[in-house]
Every structure is written in C-alpha cells, then in structure tokens.
Amino acid sequence: MTSPRNLESFRAKIARWAKIGITKWESQGTIATAASAFRKLARHYREQTVHYDQWIAQHEPSAEALACQRDTRLPREPQISLLVTTGNTTDVSALSALWHSLQAQTYSHWELCVADAGLANSPARVQLRSWAASDQRLKIRELPEDLGHAQNLQSAQSLATGDYCAFVGAADQLAPSALYEIVGAINRHPDADCLYSDHDQLDSTTGQRSEPHFKPAWSPDLLRSCNYIQHLVVIQRRLLDQVGGLLAEFGAAAGYDLLLRTTERAQRVVHIPRVLYHVCRDAGTQSWENQFALCESSRQALREHLTRCRLQGTVRHNQLPGYFSIAYSLPNRPIVSIVIPNRDQVEMLQRCLHSLWRTDYERIEIVVVENNSRDPQTFACYEQLARVPNFKLVRFEGKFNYSSVVNLGVRESAGDVVVQLNNDTQAINSDWLERMLEHALRPEVGAVGAKLYYPENDHIQHAGVVMALWGTAGHAYIDAPGNSVGYDGRLITVQNCSAVTGACLMTRRDVYEAVGGLEEEFPLDYNDIDFCLKIRQHGYLNVWTPHAELYHYESLTRKLSPSAERQAHLRWAAGRLQEKWPDIFRDGDPYYNPNLSLNSGGYELRQDPAPGVCRAA
C-alpha cells in the first residue's frame, strides 16, 4: 500500500472531482456533468497497490496452515448458507471460480443456495445442474423470470437451512480459510449475530489482488457515513428472517439498507480482521447513471435508518460518491460551558475568544481558569472580559495540573454540556459547536472530538487518536495535507474512535461526572486519553467529526526540546496509562485495523505478522 501522504494529493483531486459532479447533479439533475469525476475516480482505483503482494505472502495462511484447519474440529460447527443469484448474463468462468473457491474451503459445513433466473439452457444453469448432481450442498431454485437482484436473492434465501447466511456475488471469490475464520469467530463470540471481514479487489484476468479494505471494528457512526463494511457479511439466519432480507426498492443499495437494518437489531457485531473475500474487478461496470442511482438509493436507505432510530437530520452527499454527512437536528439547545485553562499568553487567549464569539450557537458560557499568570496585561484583559456577558473567571491556586484545572472549571460552570478547550485554538467554521453538539446530545455518545489543523500550513494536527500508535497513543494522519480525504475516506467521515484529544473535547455533564472527570494523577500527559478510555469503559461511544474545524497553535507553544524532567514525566505517564489499560494495549485499538502499521503516521500496511483476532468494539 502506498503511503497515505503519497496518495493524498491525488485523493484531494478525487474529492474535488466527485464533489463538483454531485453538486451539479443535485442542483441541475444532469447526470452527464459528473461523468468525468467518476472516470477520474476509476482511474485512481485501477492503480496497483504497492507492496500488497508482499503483504499477502507474509500474512496469509500457508498450505500447511490450511491443512491444519481442515483437520481441526471446532466445538460449535454451524452450517453456513451462501446465497447467490445467476442469470443469462452470468459469466460461467467467473461462476466456476466462485464454486472452486467454495470447494477449497477448509470448513466443510456450508451450502450454496442459488436462485437462477436464466433460460432453461443457459450456460450457467447447465453448469449449476452439473455441479448439483455431484454435490448435495448446492441447492438451485430455477426462477421462471428475472425478478430483479434483490428478489432473486430473496428466493435464494428461502432455500437456506443454515444457521448463518451470507450474500455473495456470482463472480466473486472467498479465501480458502474464509468460513473457518467465520466459524472460529462464532465460537469465540457465541452471541455474535452479525460478522464481517476485510476484503480486496481481484482482477479476474490476471489474478492480481489489490486495494485491500482494512476495516475497523463495529463503528455505527462510520456506517452512517458510508458502507465501510461491504463484504464479507455473515448474518444469523434468525436475525436475517426478522429484518426481512434484501428489499427491492433500494436497488443496488439493498445491501447497505440490509446492513443498516441488521445492525439496528444485532446483539453483537464482530469484525474479523482478515481478507476473506475477493471482489471481482471485472464483474461488471456500472454506468454513470447507475452510479448516481446507487448514491441516491443509499442516501434514502440512510434517511429511513434515521427514522427507525427516531433521529432527525438531513443526509447530504459528502466529498466522495457513496459517502454521506448527517446534520442531526438538536433535540434541545442546552447551555454549553467552554472551559479554557490559561496562564498569560494574552494574545493567544484573545484570538481563541474572538473565534468563540463568532460561533453560531448562542447559548455558551466561557469559563477561563486562571493559573499563576504574572503578566500585567493578562489581568488587564481579565478586567475587560469581566464585562462580557456569559464570561466567568475562575482562579486555580497551586502548581499547574491540567486535570485539576479543568475539573475545577467544570465544577464552576453552569452548562449541561462541557467543552475542554485549549487557549491555543481558534475556531474556523462558525457552526463547529453545533456539529459537535449534535453528537454529544445522543444518549449513547460520551466524548466528541474535532478536526484540528496546524495554522502555518493547514495540515492535519488531530483526526482522532489511535491507541499504541508510536508506542502509547498517537494522532493518525498528523501533518497530512488538510484537503486529504484519507484512507477509505477517513478524514471526511464522522466515525467512532477510542479517544480524542483534550485540546477540543465535548461531553455532557452527566457523562463527565459519571466517569469522575479527569484523573489528577495525570497532571500533564495522557489525561485526555485516560478520560476517553473511562468513557468507553462506561459503555459510551466516542465520536470524531470532521465537520467541527479549528486551528491548534500547538506547534507555536510546545517546546521543541523538552527538559529531562519533562521527558521523564512523559515516560512515567505512558507507562502508567499502559498499566491502567492493559487490555487495549494487548488486544489493539478496535477502531484501527491490526493489519495496519503502528510505526508510521497511520494507515500503512503492517509488515510484521499481525494478530488475527476478531474484534467487537
């Protein structure tokens, strides 16, 4: 995989092309205006992924390992029903490749349920009958007519007798260990009723594999931003019957709609971080009209999902096709208290405050916590601020302890929602607070983080925290160009993460108090990470949104060469964090795929063998 930084300039162009096309289509209803954007996007995806061949050789099971899987008996061995539809246009050679990939499975308790809508003597039907004569695991329902993709698959579903079902493309292939890995995950997580794996692209002509999609563990907010799951999805048949299978009215987006409906009811969604499914690149190229129809059908599926979840919001197309941005309606407009620790640095504080006063959201309280300032200009500034409505000055006496300072500010504040904000920040978009608040007011959400930039070059400073990145915890995409879309669109999508930076962090007061606020044993470093991990421990989701944007002047205020004492404290804090939260350092960050490197800026292929554990966030 090429480095994200090497891809970013091109990805930014992709975003611009796609956004122009979709904007014109929405405003003018003219499909042709976006064709060039999709052509350029397609050219990008035809580029070979560097180093992926080497990664495959290093990480995928050897022939000996596959033989061991075949000889292994698992405590629970459910039957897996694979559902597929075929017709007159089905490529028999591709269908044969699918069939042979099933024959090569190291787990044998499966059945292939086929709804064939072809003519009686079509090549696909003739071939299917031949296979069925020698393997009872193949079931065929010969349809009198083509009912459409979704309804054909409904017919295939009616043949299923397995405990779990999976929809597969007639031209796609499964990795030899796919079903073994799925059943292994079911044994480790008996309550899992929806499972998914990583996947890649397969060139049916050359056999070249490329474009691996390494996914996070279950991330409900990311699924509302795009269909990041796609393939391979295995659903407990009982749950699939409950939700009703694929619905024809969503056309090519029926799979996305099914994922939304399934995960709404699932007891547990489990991710298996292995490439178990290969999407055939030549399975058929959609017209631009169909591409746009897919985008619009996906948006409608997302709208209906919000309705079922009793959420109100506007679903908009994002910068890339198939990516969405939801502007949630605020159920109420509480007072938001913005707590800002400060010691001198008057110009920096004033810049921060002026940007807050330009914020659209009107019900704010600004609480500045003064700690040992000495500059007379600072106190002159405080005197002027005292005349500003909804401004409060709180004094913290004693040695600086960031956690203690913020905890005091929160105690002295009045809002039902609290923002921890550094004094070296500056809001960019005037609706930043509302874009964070729309998530913070959701009862399942704990902390909300923002997208932060370095002011000198508009590069990324914060786009969520990855645990164990560079050892303890790090910001993914740090110093990437600000117009980057990121790996699989991560820099433009709302998503869940383990932690966000305390430079701009929003929580409801009830959440803050429930977890005990910031731990004062972390006076300088990692208090925000610890705080977010406590929030996750209490069962809440943490959310990062790219739609709240601020500058962070960290590069201007931090010391380039920390003192020996400062370095020693940083090492102590890192060790204490790892001691306090051993599970996440042992098992890995659930929102960061273990096949990706922890020794780079993030989202690059991991070269050393990665643990293949299944993960439920």
Domains and CATH numbers, the chain: 61-326 (3.90.550.10), 336-464+499-580 (3.90.550.10)
What pTM was estimated for this model as a whole?
A: 0.88
In 10 A of CB 151, how many CB atoms? 19
Write down the pLDDT at residue 555.
Answer: 54
Report yes or no: 278 and 200 within 8 Å, Cβ to Cβ. Answer: yes
Give the residue ranges of the chain where pLDDT is below 50.
Answer: 1-50, 283, 557-559
CA pair distance 532, 528, nearest whole angstrom? 6
Q: What are phi and psi of 471, to 5 degrees?
A: 115, -60
Write down the pLDDT at residue 290.
Answer: 74
Name the percent of the chain in helix, strand, coil, to the closest 5.
40, 20, 40
How many angstroms separate the first and last alpha carbons of the chain?
25
Write down the pLDDT at residue 462.
Answer: 96
Nearest to 441 by CA among 381, 520, 361, 371: 361
Write down the pLDDT at residue 563.
Answer: 80
Write down the pLDDT at residue 609.
Answer: 66
| Rg of the chain, C-alpha, whole Å | 26
Pairing between strand 138-142 and 110-116?
A: parallel
DSSP state letters, 52-115: HHHHHHHHSPPHHHHHHHHH---S----EEEEEEE-TT--HHHHHHHHHHHHT-S---EEEEEE
Map residue 511 onto helix, strand or coil. helix
